Each structure stands twice: as C-alpha cells, then as structure tokens.
Amino acid sequence: MAKLSLFERRRRRVRTALRSRAGGKPRLSVHRTGKHIYAQIIDDAAGKTVAAASTLGVKGSGANVDAAKKVGSDIAAAAKKAGVTTVVFDRGGFLFHGRVKALADAAREGGLEF
C-alpha cells in the first residue's frame, strides 16, 4: 500500500473528527484549487448535496480572498434558501487560513452557524 500524502492524511483526520461531532448536521465542504474555490453543503445521511457555490463561471474572479468571500456569502444564501442554518465546517486537507478562512467568515456573516 502506498503512503498517503500529508494532505490526504490531514484530510482524513479532519473528516474523521467531523463525523464524531456532526450529530446529524450537514457538512460545509470546501475545496480550493489554484484558479477557483468551491463550497457545498452536503447531507451525509441522505448522501445529497443541499447547496453549492463556486467561482466557476464568474468573469474576473478566481483564486483570491475577495472571490472566497463572495463564495462564502453565496453559500450562506443558498443554505438559507434550502432551510439549513447549522452546519459543521469541513476544511478538508486545507489549512484554516487565507481563502478558506475568508470563505468561512463570510458564511458566518451570511447567517450560517458553525
């Protein structure tokens, strides 16, 4: 079996800790690349994506803190529309810093609780 990368080990560690604390709440999952940032709210019990937002298709946005703030506010609005108010934050293997932190702060300001 191949060794897992540091990113993959961190991702699994975070996801395992979330499962014990989730208590049936949906999960706000964040993924970032060099060009875009994505967020989705996932109901793990049903295996369905409740709401999603990203910088895809937005002209002039990309991989910066301002775009992450916009995605955070968009995901909070989509969650309210779907009737979700409380989530657990899944940062994946990404450190809670920069774009990931900006997205989380904007989602909190938009009304999501985590």
The pLDDT, as a whole number, for residue 67 is: 94
d(CA 39, CA 100): 10
In the chain, the N- to C-terminal Cα span, in Å, equals: 36
Phi/psi of residue 98, nearest 5 degrees: 70, -125
The pLDDT, as a whole number, for residue 111 is: 95
**Over residues 9-21, mean pLDDT:** 92
Structure tokens at 26: 């949906």
**Over residues 11-32, mean pLDDT:** 92
DSSP 3-state of 86: strand
Q: Mean pLDDT, the chain, as a whole number?
A: 93
Which of 82, 87, 92 minimizes the C-alpha distance to 38?
A: 92
- Domain map of the chain by residue range? 6-110
Say which CATH topology domain 6-110 has: Nucleotidyltransferase; domain 5 (3.30.420)
The pLDDT, as a whole number, for residue 94 is: 95
Four-point Cα dihedral 20, 21, 25, 30, nearest 10: -90
pLDDT tens digits for range 56-92: 987 777 789 999 999 999 999 999 999 999 999 999 9
The pLDDT, as a whole number, for residue 1 is: 56
Which of 58, 57, 39, 34 minimizes the C-alpha distance to 105?
A: 39
The pLDDT, as a whole number, for residue 61 is: 73
Whether residue 2 is predicted with pLDDT greater than 80 in this model: the reply is: no
